[in-house]
Structure 1
Amino acid sequence: MEIKSYQNQAEYFVDHYLLADPFLPYTSVLVGIFLCKLVYDLTELFSSIHTKSYSALTKLKRTEWNNRGISTVHAIFISFMALYFVFFSDLFTDQRSLQGLMVFRSSPLSNFGLGVSVGYFLSDLGMIFWFYPSLGGLEYILHHSLSGIAVAYSLFSGEAQIYTYMVLLSEVTTPEINLRWYLDISGLKRSKAYLINGFAIVLAWLTARILLFIYMFYHVYIHYDQVVQMNTFGYLLVFVVPIALSVMNLMWFEKEEANI
């Protein structure tokens, strides 16, 4: 009976607080931070047992190895979420006009995905600052800050979530970039896998970080009558953040292409 009572209390707490709409954004951010720590520890444990080159790395390189494990898992998670909401879900389609303007729509699932992403950006920024500049320089701080602010605003305001997910879909390139680093640090730079990975990066980058951004700006153009009704700060984020990230993406794309 006592165990059943604790179970009922736990279920009540989860349903009425952790997963309740007013608390879901905060809960999802905490979940994102917790998952980052969990993935970091699991990456460290798995690599120390199954990867020979891991133990030969310096402490700082092992930290970066584990950190890239976090970014890879986050990228896979948020890419699937973004693919679903941008191309498969009907949440943001014009056919649902009776449910309000597209730029003001959200759902518990869309909020949860954005919250986990905010938790990731906060965790990764914390690690970048703590180990600065070993895990990334000013360009990484700028990228994560712009992304984190835009995602957090979209989460807590409920505005422009469709465009936030379009931008987050660019994270589909992160696993390939991290794999390239893993191959390099493991002494496999001359391998066939490294060459194939390079072409995969170019293809994914061109698709997700250049062509998709062009599509996003086109989508904003044809739905401008809705975008203009957003809060001023959200309106500016829809234009400023993608433009800034597009410039950075073009610079990084040229750099990656030169290294293949």
Structure 2
Amino acid sequence: MDPFSQLILLISVVSFCTFQWLFHSVSPWASSRISPGFLKLTHKQKIEWNSRTVSTLHALLVGLFCLYILFFDEAVNQDPVWGDPTLVKINVSITTGYLISDLLLIFYYWRAIGDKFFVIHHLAALYAYYYVLGQGMLPYFANFRLLAEFSTPCVNQRWFFEVLGYSKASKPNMTNGVLMAAVFFLVRIKLIYMLDGLRVSTLSFLVELFL
């Protein structure tokens, strides 16, 4: 195994351990001090709260990394298929550690946060990221896919407000709703149209490559 592959593996392992630590230790400790309502939640709600807190932290971390790659990584932006995937691999390895960590928590706390669709989602993502990490393929598209994580914090925040008893008509809830709609549109809908032309050219390249 070459040194860079060892680094990617190490980052994934550290990522896994870090997100486990955030779930079991940091989130309960910080949440009980930041939001007094956390202590009034049921055991199952606390498990989901901690899971969503970690999810939000992961989304912000990889999302900001994605923006940096999008604006400053010329190698990936100039060659979406085979451009130097170094930074994308690092970001994907962080996400890989998170996904494996979250899968473990889903199975362990199945009665509280178990969801077969999340399991399918995580496994499908890990399968796709295997080609990014193992083959270095399509780093530009992997980066764009991870940009969609920017909508996750707003979705989680809506759940936080709901479980804390905020009215749907409350100002914080409405503000979050507007922000969620705007971010969701930008990172999960508008990006589709931005990628259409690039997809066509990339597919043409792949057809020529393999035929």
For the criterion TM > 0.5, the same-fold answer is yes
Residues 1:23 and 2:2 aligned together: no
Q: How does 1:201-212 map to 2 (within 5 A)?
A: 201-212=180-191
Is the deviation greater in 79-88 or in 199-208?
Answer: 79-88
Deviations 1:2-39 (A, max 9, x none): xxxxxxxxxxxxxxx9x931302211110210220232
The residue correspondences of 1:108-187 to structure 2 (distance < 5 A) are: 108-132=86-110, 134-187=112-165
Displacement of 1:112 in angstroms is: 1.4
Alignment partner of 1:81: what SS?
A: helix
Higher normalized contact order (CA 8 Å, seq sep 6+, divided by chain length):
2
Q: Is the contact made by 2:92 and 2:129 (CA closer than 8 Å) also made in structure 1?
A: yes
Match of 2:176 among 174, 197, 211: 197
1:203-222: CA deviations, max 9, x gaps? Answer: 11111111112322331112
Which residue does the alignment assign to 1:89? 73
Structure 1's 227 and 193: CA in aligned 2 closer, same or farther, altered over 3 A?
Answer: farther
Calculate the aligned-residue CA RMSD, in Å. 2.3
CA-to-partner distance for each residue in 1:181-213, whole Å, 9 max, x for gaps? Answer: 111111113421101111111111111111112
Query: Residue by residue, what CA displacement relative to the aligned partner does 1:141-190 show, whole Å, maximum 9, x if unpaired?
Result: 22222122212321121111110111110000001111111111111134
TM-score by length of 2: 0.89
Question: 5+ residue gaps in structure 2?
Answer: none
Q: Give unpaired runs (5+ residues) of structure 1.
A: 1-16, 95-100, 233-260
TM-score (norm. length: structure 1): 0.73
Structure 1 residue 213 corresponds to structure 2 residue 196: no
Q: Which residue of the other structure, out of 34, 37, 40, is the alignment partner of 1:53?
A: 37
Structure 2: how far apart are the matches of 1:179 and 1:153?
32
Residues 11-68 of structure 1 show CA distances to partners (whole Å, capped at 9, x for unaligned) of xxxxxx9x93130221111021022023222111111233211111111111111111
Which residue matches 2:56?
Answer: 72
The separation in 2 between residues aligned to 1:60 and 1:134, in whole angstroms, is 5
Larger radius of gyration: 1
Secondary structure of 1:223's partner?
A: helix
Percent identical pairs in the alignment equals: 25
The answer to whether the Cα contact below 8 Å between 2:66 and 2:146 also exists between their aligned partners in 1 is yes
Kindly state the Cα deviation for residue 116 of structure 1 after the two structures are TM-superposed: 0.6
Aligned residues: 209
SS at match of 1:189: coil
